[in-house]
A and B are shown apart, each in its own frame.
Chain A
């Protein structure tokens, strides 16, 4: 059974800092991996989708990488802003969709 782990569970950084969020999974046989953002009490917003054949995807200040063989993905956020404060979730997909518990990010002004 696929297990998805996100470390750290919470992270607090000053504004302007570059940061990395980690996601690991136990079964490398995946179709793709997706990163989401969730604001408190809200639904999920898709940030980036990486297909299993890809190594990375970029959108604005966000860059997600995928190393399928080692079961790892990272989400890099450049020049963090207070508006980036949210919980970030990763999910891996094959015959179902398995989510990590998320990393709660706080960016302090």
Chain B
């Protein structure tokens, strides 16, 4: 079955610790995205990538880092610089439209990772 997997489902972070959230897709999509969801708010874009070894900052990139070494994988690291990391993190993927914009096409989402601070 094609789809997007995220792990772990729950993640606990201690103060000053970096943690990495995993996102893998087997949909052969070029574009991948990371969003953060807080209660009562819409999803906010953290980072996105249209191609291997390239990625762009979204609205709230501060305190986060990403890598895109393989087409199938787009891990997100929440660094100690992110002072309020408690949230639900969603990964998504899509094809890239012929216009070159990744945002024109339907995005498919993973099941999410809930990050909690100890």
Q: Do A and B come from one complex?
A: yes
| A99 sits at the interface (CB 8 A) | yes
- If A95-B101, A96-B58 touch, does A46 touch B42 (CB 8 Å cutoff)? no
> Are B112's CB and A42's CB within 8 A?
yes
* Proximity bits, B9-27, A CB within 8 Å = 1, else 0: 0000000000000000000
Q: Does chain B have a CB within 8 A of A45? A: yes
What is the interface of chain A mostly: helix, strand, loop, or mixed? Answer: strand
Given A43-B90, A93-B103; A101-B41 close (CB under 8 Å):
yes
Q: 10 nearest interchain CB pairs?
A: A99-B42, A43-B109, A44-B109, A99-B43, A93-B103, A43-B111, A31-B104, A101-B42, A43-B112, A97-B103
Binding site for B on A (CB under 8 A): 4, 9, 31-32, 34, 36, 41-46, 49, 89, 91, 93-102
Contact B109 A32 (CB under 8 A): no
**Are B42 and A89 in contact (CB-based, < 8 A)?**
yes
Q: Evaluate contact between A45 and B109: CB separation under 8 angstroms.
A: yes
Let me know if A43 and B107 touch, CB within 8 A. Answer: no
Q: How far is the CB of A59 from chain B (nearest CB, A)?
A: 13
Residue B110 CB within 8 A of the other chain? yes
Of residues 72 through 106 on chain B, the ones whose CB sits less than 8 Å from some CB of chain A are 88, 90, 92, 101, 103-104, 106
25 A-B residue pairs with Cβ-Cβ distance under 8 Å, sorted by A, are: A4-B42, A31-B104, A32-B104, A34-B106, A34-B107, A41-B88, A41-B112, A42-B111, A43-B6, A44-B109, A46-B106, A46-B109, A49-B106, A89-B42, A89-B43, A93-B103, A94-B103, A96-B45, A96-B58, A96-B59, A96-B103, A97-B107, A99-B44, A100-B42, A102-B42
